[in-house]
Amino acid sequence: MLTLKNVSAGYNGFDVISDISLDVMEGENLCILGPNGCGKTTLIKTISGLIPHMGTIEIDGINISDMKRTEVAEKIAVMSQISTIYFSYTIYETVLLGRYLHMNGRTFKEPSLRDREYADKCLKAVGLYSMKNKQISTLSGGQLQRVYLARTLAQEPNVILLDEPTNHLDLKHQAELVDFLRDWSKEEGHTVIGVFHDLNLAMKLADNVLLLDKGKIAAYGKTKDVISSKLLSDVYEMDVAGYMVDSLKQWESIQNGPAQTKLRKIK
Ligand code: ADP
């Protein structure tokens, strides 16, 4: 479905990512991992056509350089990191904007019943349906992140690109989002490509992992193989598995250890 062949891209004439080749199938979830500054966001921007590239990016066998901007947008939707809100719409209006490409009319686009129903479906999926008439300027970072996710889903893209989609979310919503994305891709045959910092979330979501190191592919393959590889620790310059296992042991010792002093909820 999505193929990159020897792709390089960057800013002001300097490559930040180079020689990236990958193949993502329909219904596949791919996580991009790597330390700060290794080029994860740049790769997401490159795939979505936001910055120019060398090499070839194809969707369903068609080179994106030969497609119109709107044609690319019908296939690929990006949910980027939260930016400043300049205009306040309601949650519902914001999500309905994601349907824009599907709406009828040339100059003035009119949402159809299906557009409205689809926007509602996406709002229900992210748990915001009951508050859909609230202004987005009044929302917390986590709520806003879910609004943007619903808007991205409302575009009904084949491929969804997510750049740190959980960075504003509390634990419960992180877990729910990852479960939702996994079901969404498997049941509806969509493809999710996401940048995650949390390796546990990446493991829950991803079929495959692309590990970047200084703009180049350090490892690419099945999630279990990449996560268990020594390369992961080399790239992050720390004993990743040791750190994870230590954390788990701490949890275990708390749960299995002697009874703790009971804390009462402070009213
Ligand atoms: P990551 O997402 O892995 O943290 P980025 O793709 O954001 O990494 O950044 C990779 C490198 O590209 C960094 O050195 C960063 O400073 C540089 N970079 C990112 N955005 C720009 C930009 N708009 N102009 C110039 N350099 C940039």
- Which tens digit of pLDDT belongs to each residue from 137-196? 898 888 888 898 899 989 888 899 998 888 878 888 888 888 888 888 888 788 999 999
| Strand 53-59 with 62-63, pairing | antiparallel
User: Within a domain: residue 264?
Assistant: no
Which percentage of the chain shows pLDDT scores above 90?
53
| Strand 159-163 with 216-222, pairing | unpaired
Q: Which two tokens stand for residue 26?
A: 């329909």
Task: Check pocket membership of 194 for ligand 1, CB cut-off 6 A.
Answer: no
User: Within a domain: residue 92?
Assistant: no
CATH number at residue 183: 3.40.50.300
Give residue-wise pLDDT tens across range 69-105: 888 888 899 886 666 666 788 999 999 988 877 776 6
pLDDT value at residue 10: 97
- pTM of the shown model: 0.88
Higher pLDDT, 227 or 125: 227
107 pLDDT band (50/70/90 cuts)?
low
Residue nearest to atom 27 of ligand 1 (CA): 11
| Strand 208-213 with 29-33, pairing | parallel
User: Within a domain: residue 115?
Assistant: no
User: Within a domain: residue 96?
Assistant: no
pLDDT value at residue 239: 93
Task: Check pocket membership of 40 for ligand 1, CB cut-off 6 A.
Answer: yes
Cα 41 to ligand 1 centre (Å): 7
User: Within a domain: residue 248?
Assistant: yes
Of 16-20, 68-72, 245-249, 261-265, minimum mean pLDDT range: 261-265
Cα 42 to ligand 1 centre (Å): 6
User: Within a domain: residue 122?
Assistant: no
Contacts of 80 (CB under 8 A, 6+ apart): 44, 148, 163
pLDDT value at residue 116: 92
Atom of ligand 1 nearest to the CA of 39: 6
Select from 108, 45, 55, 111 the least CA-distant residue to 81: 45
Select from 222, 204, 187 the least CA-distant residue to 27: 187
Residues 56, 58, 62, 67, CA torsion sign: negative
Select from 70, 59, 132 the least CA-distant residue to 101: 70
19 pLDDT band (50/70/90 cuts)?
very high
Task: Check pocket membership of 36 for ligand 1, CB cut-off 6 A.
Answer: yes
Which percentage of the chain shows pLDDT scores above 70?
95
Q: What is the mean pLDDT of the chain?
A: 89
63 pLDDT band (50/70/90 cuts)?
very high
Section 248-257 average pLDDT: 87
User: Within a domain: residue 140?
Assistant: no
Residue holding tokens 């701490």? 250
Residue 146 sits at the vertex; the CA angle it makes with 141 and 151, to the nearest 5 degrees, is: 125
Residue nearest to atom 25 of ligand 1 (CA): 11
Render the burial of 100-112: b for 16+ CB within 10 Å, e for the rest: eebeeeeeeeebe
The number of distinct structural domains making up the chain is: 1
Atom of ligand 1 nearest to the CA of 12: 25
pLDDT value at residue 108: 65
Render the burial of 33-64: b for 16+ CB within 10 Å, e for the rest: bbeeebbbbbbbbbbbbebebebebbbeeeeb
Higher pLDDT, 19 or 143: 19
The answer to whether the CB of 34 falls within 8 A of the CB of 40 is yes
Task: Check pocket membership of 16 for ligand 1, CB cut-off 6 A.
Answer: yes
User: Within a domain: residue 231?
Assistant: yes
Select from 72, 75, 26, 29 the least CA-distant residue to 196: 29
pLDDT value at residue 117: 92
Q: Which two tokens stand for residue 56?
A: 């070839």
Q: Which domain holds residue 175?
A: 2-85+157-253
